[in-house]
Amino acid sequence: MLNIIPKPYKAEELPGKADARGGFNFAPCSWDRDTARFLKNISPSGGARLAVAAEENSALGKEEYCLDISESGVKITASSGAGYAYALESLRQLYSAGGGLLPCVKIKDKPRFAWRGFMLDVGRYYMPVDEVKRFIDFMVMHKLNVFHFHLTEDQGWRLEIKKYPLLTEKGSRRSHTNFNCRPHGGFYTQEEIKDIVEYCHERHVIVVPEIDMPGHMQAAIHCYPELSCFDRKLPVATHWGVKHDILCAGKDSTLQFVKGVLDEVVELFPDGYVHLGGDEAPKMRWQLCPHCQKKIKQLGLKDENQLQAHFIGEVKDYLKEKGVQAITWNEDEISGKAPADVTWTVWNVLEKDLNKMYAEMERGRKLINSSSVPNYLDLTYNKNPLKDVYSQPVDICKKHEKMLGAEASLWTEQIPTIKRAHFMTFPRLGAFAEAVWSDDMSRNYDEFLARIPAYEKLLKSAGAVKTASVKRANPGKIFGAFEQLWFNKVQLCWHGLHNLIDDAKVKSKYGKKK
């Protein structure tokens, strides 16, 4: 058994050990920057250094690599820096597990899916740049290559936009969080964003920013009330839950605002993708709003769901002109209406509704599996136990070419600290990485568990503050029920009641005029 997560595609273990306790002696190659990064993660204990040579072979895929370890040295073959970096990552893991003594082995490795993502929600809780970077390091360790950066929320706008300075001046701070009276805030300057993006690119990770619209926009509405249907003056949201005040899709000025934001977003994030959210956008306000209703009539649309599809379509077209691919979350009521050239991160499709996803694929839509069960890492270990994350099929639609891959998502409503973030992420991220990278036929949960002790050691050395034990990550019925109860209690808070009262207020004020 090789202590590498995710498990390589093919590995032939040979007799003998290579001694790298004294470290490594790398021959220069085109990817010296990756070498330098690798060496920072190695702590030699003295003695002779093991030779490492690299060979470029353009016949290999971009992320493929061969890693041959023998007593006399290490040879890496790759066609690009990404493949080379992944070879070094495997080497690092073997080095860490063996305390510098490496098994002699011939590895040929390549990913199962091209899109191997990790989503981080910094809207609910801001995360300092260094901690974001630490997550990027963890992504690289797991051979993940898409950083989905969820930057805007009802509870906080985290991205500096020069054209709309209030978004961060006012929109990045909330007065309190649920029943906790402490203010919370923070945002990334454009310089910090460039630094994060560069950090990712050096590590062969692309960045997909998410500007969630038309829902999840209360922080922006706080700064610019005219973005909402009734120019409502609302605070940056202080409670979790779905908010009913969303962008007004009837006013042309809303689209101008969105375009202004995206002009800067596509400059800051040059990888050719922008996630437009599109999730959880209740239509109560649109049903009452004269602007939205006028737009529906003008365009000959059937209802408010079609208006959302139209709105996303307009933004998608704007991005397309700039050579940028739009992505949104799948939303059931928009199914079959939204333009098919918007890629979807699929988050809430039940087994029984998978036929809707087949239909979307038939229309040509590309999908990324970000199914909340089992890929939301903020959900309890009771809901998404380690074994379920590991055993998932990933390719839910069994049509490989349209299923780009998958994302593990860390929403942060229940994650106010880094310690909690790491505890919820590990070891599930290891299981997720193996599900998206490793060959489906060779995956074996028991064998994965045997690699966990070495994985835990590696995580600790890489700065994981806290990880869940395998037992904790697969809770029994009774503990799991308590864990779920606690989570649900915190989840509910009072937003449901608040929305109910607020809706009644809006209806009595604006409903009669219709």
Task: Decide whether 137 or 280 has the Cβ nearer to ligand ACM.
Answer: 280
Contact 75, 28 (CB under 8 A): no
Q: Which of 95, 113, 103 is nearest to 43 (CA)?
A: 95
Distances (CA, A) of 82 to 18, 145, 459, 494: 24, 9, 21, 47
- What is the Cα–Cα distance from 261 to 5, expressed in whole angstroms? 39
Q: Which of 56, 137, 263, 280 binds ligand ACM (CB under 6 A)?
A: 280
- Could you say which of ligand ACM, Zn ion, none residue 23 binds, taking C-beta under 5 to 8 angstroms by partner kind? none
Q: Checking phi first, is residue 217 left (phi over 0); if not, alpha (psi -120 to 50) or beta?
A: alpha
Beta strand residue intervals within 122-230, DSSP E: 146-150, 152-153, 156-157, 173-174, 184-185, 206-213
Task: Decide whether 292 or 312 has the Cβ nearer to Zn ion.
Answer: 292
Contact 458, 93 (CB under 8 A): yes
Task: Decide whether 306 or 409 has the Cβ nearer to ligand ACM.
Answer: 409
Rg (CA), the chain: 24
- 69: Cα within 13 Å, side-chain hemisphere: 27
Q: Which of 91, 24, 196, 141 is nearest to 460 (CA)?
A: 141
Residues in 244-263 that interact with Zn ion by CB under 5 A: 248, 250
Q: How many positions of this chain bind Zn ion (CB under 5 A)?
A: 6
Contact 307, 301 (CB under 8 A): yes
Q: Which of 76, 77, 108, 87 is nearest to 38 (CA)?
A: 87
Task: Decide whether 229 or 473 has the Cβ nearer to Zn ion.
Answer: 229
The tokens describing 407, both together, are: 């994302």
Task: Decide whether 213 or 289 has the Cβ nearer to Zn ion.
Answer: 289
Q: Is 292 in the site for Zn ion (CB under 5 A)?
A: yes
Task: Decide whether 317 or 332 has the Cβ nearer to ligand ACM.
Answer: 332
What is the rounded end-to-end Cα distance, in angstroms, of the chain?
A: 69
Q: How many positions of this chain bind ligand ACM (CB under 6 A)?
A: 4
Amino acid identity, position 79: S
Contact stretch for Zn ion (CB under 5 A) within 16-24, 121-129, 287-295, 388-396: 287-295
Residue 282, phi then psi, degrees to nearest 5: -65, 150
What secondary structure does DSSP assign to 347-359, as a single string? -S--GGGHHHHHH
Give min distance, CB of 216 to ligand ACM, in A.
8
Task: Decide whether 288 or 394 has the Cβ nearer to Zn ion.
Answer: 288
Task: Decide whether 49 or 259 has the Cβ nearer to Zn ion.
Answer: 259
Q: Is 279 in the site for ligand ACM (CB under 6 A)?
A: yes
18: enclosing H helix or E strand:
strand 10-19
Give min distance, CB of 428 to ligand ACM, in A.
17
Which residue, judged by CB position, is nearest to ligand ACM in the bound state? 279
Distances (CA, A) of 236 to 106, 152, 216, 239, 266: 55, 11, 11, 9, 25
The angle formed by the CA atoms of residues 292, 248 and 127, to the nearest 5 degrees, is: 155
- Could you say which of Zn ion, ligand ACM, none residue 439 binds, taking C-beta under 5 to 8 angstroms by partner kind? none
Q: Which of 108, 170, 291, 387 binds Zn ion (CB under 5 A)?
A: 291
Q: Is 196 in the site for Zn ion (CB under 5 A)?
A: no
Q: Is 390 in the site for ligand ACM (CB under 6 A)?
A: no
Give min distance, CB of 124 to ligand ACM, in A.
12
Residues in 307-326 that interact with Zn ion by CB under 5 A: none
Task: Decide whether 278 or 475 has the Cβ nearer to ligand ACM.
Answer: 278
Q: Which of 85, 102, 289, 296 binds Zn ion (CB under 5 A)?
A: 289
- Could you say which of ligand ACM, Zn ion, none residue 427 binds, taking C-beta under 5 to 8 angstroms by partner kind? none
Residue 512, phi then psi, degrees to nearest 5: -70, -25
Task: Decide whether 347 or 390 has the Cβ nearer to ligand ACM.
Answer: 347
Give min distance, CB of 277 to ligand ACM, in A.
8
- Could you say which of ligand ACM, Zn ion, none residue 274 binds, taking C-beta under 5 to 8 angstroms by partner kind? none
Q: Is 329 in the site for ligand ACM (CB under 6 A)?
A: yes
Query: How far is Cα of residue 7 from the mean position of the Cα atoms in its chain?
Result: 21
Q: Is 206 in the site for Zn ion (CB under 5 A)?
A: no
Task: Decide whether 94 or 421 has the Cβ nearer to ligand ACM.
Answer: 421
Q: Binding pattern to ligand ACM, positions 344-373, x when CB under 6 A?
A: ---x--------------------------
- What is the Cα–Cα distance from 219 to 476, expressed in whole angstroms? 40
Give min distance, CB of 505 to Zn ion, in A.
17
Q: Which of 18, 122, 229, 274 binds Zn ion (CB under 5 A)?
A: 229
Q: Is 149 in the site for ligand ACM (CB under 6 A)?
A: no
Contact stretch for Zn ion (CB under 5 A) within 76-84, 197-205, 241-249, 342-350: 241-249
What secondary structure does DSSP assign to 22-69, as a single string? T-EEEPP-TTHHHHHHHHHT----SSPPEEEEEEE-TTS-TT-EEEEE
Residues that bind Zn ion (CB under 5 A): 229, 248, 250, 289, 291-292
Residues that bind ligand ACM (CB under 6 A): 279-280, 329, 347
